[in-house]
Amino acid sequence: MITLNNLSRIYRTSDVETTALNQINLTVNEGEFIAIMGPSGCGKSTLLSILGMLDSPSSGSYQFNGEDIADYSEAQLAQLRKTSIGFVFQSFNLIDELTVYENVELPLQYLKISKAARKERVEAILKRMAIDHRADHLPQQLSGGQQQRVAVARAMVSNPKLILADEPTGNLDSKNGDAVMAMLRELNQDGTTVIMVTHAEKEGNYADRLVRLLDGQIMLDKATQTINKDEVA
């Protein structure tokens, strides 16, 4: 699905040059669940932004589904993001003025899907995320765990091939964090590729594969012993 070859990202100001990523080589196969870990400032978020096509590398190549996206226009990248990638953020990033239903429906409106089809898909994903009883509520009327369920529903409603999750449990207590991780694991077991940035070892154990970064370089890339969601309390 994804191939990064000698990918680097350098940020430059008038007098400072900072290497956020340094010669990254990474292959992500369809259906994997990968946890990207490392200390603050190691390049995790920069890597996730590039994988999500929200930032561009300074050098090296990024192939998505066999296509080098270096020459894609912003419109082409936006279309690829809309159709292929779902994002889950630590801060939920829900729109306060929209209801749960409307927040989840929004990506489908951008894809110009009919109202009837949108209704069917939104209702189905809200039910799957066990948040359908809150469809008419605003985000501020929900708990943190409920908001993150809505965020996952919004990420999944367009049936993306890839979910990118940035510290998805960072603002949640342990119980709600476990519930969100179990949901991501279940989505992955149903075939969705998941790449997650986390600083928590417990969350990292849900993944099939662990990639550790340090100073913008991959220091470790190995398979993990994943948690069975049925064993999570």
Position 91 scores a pLDDT of 87
- The pLDDT confidence band at residue 15, using thresholds 50, 70 and 90, is confident
Position 233 scores a pLDDT of 37
Of 171 and 46, more confident:
46
* 85 pLDDT higher than 90: yes
Of 94 and 233, more confident:
94
Mean predicted lDDT score pLDDT of the chain: 92
**Residue where the block lists tokens 């978020």:** 45
* 232 pLDDT higher than 50: no
- The pLDDT confidence band at residue 109, using thresholds 50, 70 and 90, is very high
Average pLDDT over residues 72-83: 93
**Residue where the block lists tokens 């994903």:** 125
Position 227 scores a pLDDT of 55
In a 3-state reduction of DSSP, which class is residue 6? strand
* 225 pLDDT higher than 70: no
Q: Record the tokens describing residue 39, joined without a space.
A: 């200390």
* 231 pLDDT higher than 70: no
Task: Write the pLDDT tens digit of every residue in 197-206.
Answer: 998 899 999 9
| Alpha helical stretches, state H, 85-158 | 100-110, 115-128, 144-156
Q: What is the DSSP string of 208-230?
A: SEEEEEETTEEEEEEE--PPPGG
Residues 100/142, Cβ–Cβ less than 8 Å: yes
Percent of the chain predicted with pLDDT > 90: 82
In a 3-state reduction of DSSP, which class is residue 26? strand
Position 224 scores a pLDDT of 82
* 228 pLDDT higher than 80: no
In terms of Cβ atoms closer than 10 Å to its own Cβ (0-12, 13-18, 19+), residue 9 is buried
